Structure 1
Amino acid sequence: MAHIAVIGAGITGVTTAWSLLGRGHDVTLFDKNRYAAMETSFANGGQLSASNAEVWNHWSNVVKGIKWMMRSDAPLKFSLAPSWHKYSWMAEFLASIPHHDRNTVATTRMAIAAREHLFAMARDAGIDFDLERRGILHVYADRTGFEHAANVNRLLARGGLMREAVSPADIRALEPALKGEFFGGFYTQGDSTGDIHKFSVGLADASVKRGAIFVNEAAITRLSRDQGGVAVAFDHRGSAHDARFDAVVICAGTASRALAAQLGDRVNIYPVKGYSITVDLADAASREAAPWMSLLDDDAKIVTSRLGADRFRVAGTAEFAGFNRDIRAERIAPLVKWCERHFPAMRTEHVTPWAGLRPMMPNMMPKVGAGRAPGVYYNTGHGHLGWTLSAATADMIAARINADHAGRTTMGSVAMAAE
């Protein structure tokens, strides 16, 4: 078997490492942070949602985005500041609109396959990540949104997913805590929610126990490929190091584009900022008023998850502003107001805001496969569905590497110990 370097210890990196270990490979996991899952995999919306598999490449979203450009509180915010990367990415996004149906069906199939892989990982690694298998309820305020979702249902069905149409009365029965008027909705029983950070940290720890090396606080300075394998140069807490591997898997989120360029590949990922708040359900009345059913409000572009008894996660918005991680008050306020409107008895006195950069490809499909050079692989660019798809794409890339490296002699391990 091979010695593989996995760059990035977010959800795609740790699931890739685990899948490679399960096939008998030696794995060294690198991350620039002190702990696993400290960036995009830290505080997302929590949904494991095959029902949200529709890709964004649709003219209706383009029209909405144009209408929202002048609103600071709009679900989608597009900065007009000049950027070749942003505008070229957007051109490719528009060019992918004709492939909307095909890519939605393919994403649905991946999302369904990911379910059992993820549950098996959690079971085998012994991870408690506040899993709730209550399904996900999509709600729509008007007929237009509901009818678009009904059209999407046909694509989801082609991918193997069935969503149940529900009336306003059904919505109230499924989640009595939800207040407000809705035209209708769709319920997906097989979907679930959980804490991505707890899962990722748990799987990283389990991978180390299984034999992986985790090199944290490691900034990758150079990647290169030659006939002997892949060389990884990195700075570890102020000291320069070099290591050689049989192969490398880039799972570095928004940093993947720059790393891929060093290896001769174009992986056109753009950072799309998303925000979340975590509401501390500190009193009994708030715990009672907060929902247990996971929700997706399609008009507000907001998703929710109940993370155990004492936390309620609310996430949404998409902001095209480059590598800007600032948490802006005017983007957090709509999430808090949405909570107060739909769950008025739930206190929002203690709210923790967060922002992360989703790594998005223009066609909304993850980059999973080999690069140009032998021994170079990618599992990145999952956009808003990294939590949903990662367990399946990790299995896909591990299977590919297993086939490519079967019977080869393994290189020596990285010449340093992880701390």
Structure 2
Amino acid sequence: MRVCVLGAGVVGLTSAYYLAKKGFQVTVIDRQPGVGLETSFANAGQISPGYSAPWAAPGVPFKAIKWLMQKHAPLKISAEPEIKKLAWMSKMLANCTEKAYDVNKSRMVALAEYSRDQFIQLRKDIGIKYDDGQGGLTQLFRKDEQVEASEKDIKVLKALNVPHQVLTPAQILEVEPGLAPVIDKFKGGLRLTGDETGDCYLFCLSLKETCESLGVEFQFNSSIQSLSVQGQKINGVVTELGLQAFDTILVCLGSYSKELLKACDIDIPVYPVKGYSLTVPISDANFAPISTVMDETYKVAVTRLGGRIRAAGTAELTGYNLDLPKSRTETITHVVSDLFGAGCHLSEAEYWTGLRPMTPDGTPVVGASGVNGLYLNTGHGTLGWTMSCGSAAVIADIMAGDKAQINANDLSFERYKK
């Protein structure tokens, strides 16, 4: 069966790999000149199943109002009125309840844990290297109320048997000694021992070679114009080359999935949430992170990638704007300077921005679309890297007619029709 995967980011690429492993004849189409050149290019470097949680949570609406008044705030909302943005925000607010949070977090952690297991298996199967590390993730709490609020997440982690450790400041130093100069700023921490790190772009480059060895074909510099539906069945995709016929199509276009699908009367609630990152060489490893730390006050992740530090954060609701103003990178720069300023030369930092495809409940959309032959694997938000292998394995099972290894019913588009 001829399958077309739309999108060559980490979600599309892993999907192509798992589909090819099942014997499908796979073609990947992307507008960029290579793999992983948009949202996958310079993300936070975290593979963090233990940290998987929806942004929609009790108390977030009040926090959001407070954040809008802060200089180094984790959330920015552009002042321009936009119907799509307001509609998405209203749906997100509807998920800010205890009941919705527990359901959504359980779904997300289950998929992310499965995905981490797939990463482990992938390294065994093909020996893939991507500056990967298995040193866990440490959440840093600057305030007593953050320590108290973590109890809710710990409850979910226990229920799902996710390995974790509650840390005192002294115990934080045992896993991240580079924080010694600033440890007095923290009240405690939570370590997610099963979380991993790695360079998503390097992963994409390496996995592309494996995909090609399995017969996957790539069409780069190819603009996707529309989907072609005949009757109630998908029959191809239209690019600047015209109509290309395929038996099945899988949409993995992240934030750009929504507009393409609207022509098929499929309205997925995905909105682009802009994020920023910096990458800087390490100058003194004694004052650099060992793995990943997440500063909960600023919602900025700082990760060790070989001889580099990668920091990423900030959520900005501003449509498809990809400008990179200095004012928007100040928060991640501040956090790196505050935590590991003695371990790097920030003057050498390289900055980047990308659009995370976010659903209002935080869970990606993985499964059939309702149109015969058209499938979806999109809407992973800030967790595309974390969930990529898991959601790809799930969609490959679904498309092959096999039973998925985890409960995939609540991942599908159908949950928004209920």
1:296-311 alignment runs, 5 A limit: 296-308=294-306, 310-311=307-308
Q: For residues 128-172 of structure 1, give each alpha carbon's deviation from its aligned partner in whole angstroms, at most 9, with x where no partner exists.
A: 101111111111011101111111111122233132101011011
Partner of 1:231: 236
Partner of 1:97: 96
Q: Does the CA contact (< 8 Å) of 1:249 and 1:376 recur in 2?
A: yes
After superposing the two structures, state which structure 1 stretch, 211-220 or 54-63, moved more.
Answer: 54-63
Q: TM-score, normalised by structure 2?
A: 0.91
Q: What is the alpha-carbon root mean square deviation over aligned residues?
A: 1.4
Give the Cα separation in 2 of the matches to 1:127 and 1:379: 23
One of 295, 319, 325 as aligned partner of 2:322: 325
Partner of 1:112: 113
Partner of 2:151: 150
Give the Cα separation in 1 of the matches to 2:274 and 2:66: 19
Give the Cα separation in 1 of the matches to 2:247 and 2:161: 37
1:8-27 alignment runs, 5 A limit: 8-27=7-26
Per the TM alignment, residue 212 of structure 1 is displaced from its structure 2 partner at its CA by 0.5
Q: Does the CA contact (< 8 Å) of 1:74 and 1:317 recur in 2?
A: yes
After superposing the two structures, state which structure 1 stretch, 140-149 or 154-163, moved more.
Answer: 154-163
User: Do residues 186 (structure 1) and 184 (structure 2) align?
Assistant: no
Partner of 2:408: none
Per the TM alignment, residue 229 of structure 1 is displaced from its structure 2 partner at its CA by 4.4
Per the TM alignment, residue 72 of structure 1 is displaced from its structure 2 partner at its CA by 4.5
Q: Does the CA contact (< 8 Å) of 1:269 and 1:361 recur in 2?
A: yes
Partner of 1:416: none
- From the superposition, tell whether residues 159 and 248 of structure 1 become closer, same or farther in structure 2 (CA, over 3 Å): same
Q: For residues 217-265 of structure 1, give each alpha carbon's deviation from its aligned partner in whole angstroms, at most 9, with x where no partner exists.
A: 1111120222574211102xxxx23211111000001110011112221
Q: For residues 157-203 of structure 1, give each alpha carbon's deviation from its aligned partner in whole angstroms, at most 9, with x where no partner exists.
A: 22331321010110112111013221111111111100011111211
User: Do residues 212 (structure 1) and 204 (structure 2) align?
Assistant: no
- From the superposition, tell whether residues 326 and 9 of structure 1 become closer, same or farther in structure 2 (CA, over 3 Å): same
Q: For residues 347-379 of structure 1, give each alpha carbon's deviation from its aligned partner in whole angstroms, at most 9, with x where no partner exists.
A: 212100011100001111100010121100000
Per the TM alignment, residue 297 of structure 1 is displaced from its structure 2 partner at its CA by 0.9
Give the Cα separation in 2 of the matches to 1:57 and 1:204: 34
Give the Cα separation in 2 of the matches to 1:108 and 1:160: 10
Q: Could you tell me which amino acid in structure 2 is paired with residue 208 of structure 1?
A: E
Give the Cα separation in 1 of the matches to 2:54 and 2:80: 25
Q: Does the CA contact (< 8 Å) of 2:138 and 2:191 recur in 1?
A: yes
Q: Does the CA contact (< 8 Å) of 1:358 and 1:384 recur in 2?
A: yes
- The SS at the match of 2:154 is helix
Q: Does the CA contact (< 8 Å) of 2:53 and 2:362 recur in 1?
A: no
User: Do residues 5 (structure 1) and 10 (structure 2) align?
Assistant: no
Give the Cα separation in 1 of the matches to 2:374 and 2:73: 40
- The SS at the match of 2:244 is strand
Q: Could you tell me which amino acid in structure 2 is paired with residue 360 of structure 1?
A: M
Q: Does the CA contact (< 8 Å) of 1:125 and 1:202 recur in 2?
A: no
1:14-413 alignment runs, 5 A limit: 14-98=13-97, 99-178=100-179, 179-180=181-182, 181-226=185-230, 229-235=234-240, 240-281=241-282, 283=283, 286-308=284-306, 310-346=307-343, 347-403=345-401
Aligned identity (percent) is 34
Partner of 2:413: none
Q: Does the CA contact (< 8 Å) of 2:108 and 2:362 recur in 1?
A: no
Q: Could you tell me which amino acid in structure 2 is paired with residue 140 of structure 1?
A: F
Give the Cα separation in 2 of the matches to 1:222 and 1:46: 32
Give the Cα separation in 1 of the matches to 2:70 and 2:146: 20
Give the Cα separation in 1 of the matches to 2:159 and 2:109: 9
Give the Cα separation in 1 of the matches to 2:247 and 2:289: 48
Per the TM alignment, residue 401 of structure 1 is displaced from its structure 2 partner at its CA by 0.5
Aligned length: 395
Partner of 1:415: none
Give the Cα separation in 1 of the matches to 2:265 and 2:208: 29
Q: Does the CA contact (< 8 Å) of 1:125 and 1:203 recur in 2?
A: no
Q: Could you tell me which amino acid in structure 2 is paired with residue 111 of structure 1?
A: A
Give the Cα separation in 1 of the matches to 2:311 and 2:341: 15
Give the Cα separation in 1 of the matches to 2:354 and 2:80: 20
- The SS at the match of 1:97 is coil
Q: Could you tell me which amino acid in structure 2 is paired with residue 316 of structure 1?
A: G
- The SS at the match of 1:103 is helix
Q: Does the CA contact (< 8 Å) of 1:122 and 1:199 recur in 2?
A: no
Per the TM alignment, residue 54 of structure 1 is displaced from its structure 2 partner at its CA by 1.6
Give the Cα separation in 2 of the matches to 1:163 and 1:143: 19
Q: Could you tell me which amino acid in structure 2 is paired with residue 88 of structure 1?
A: A
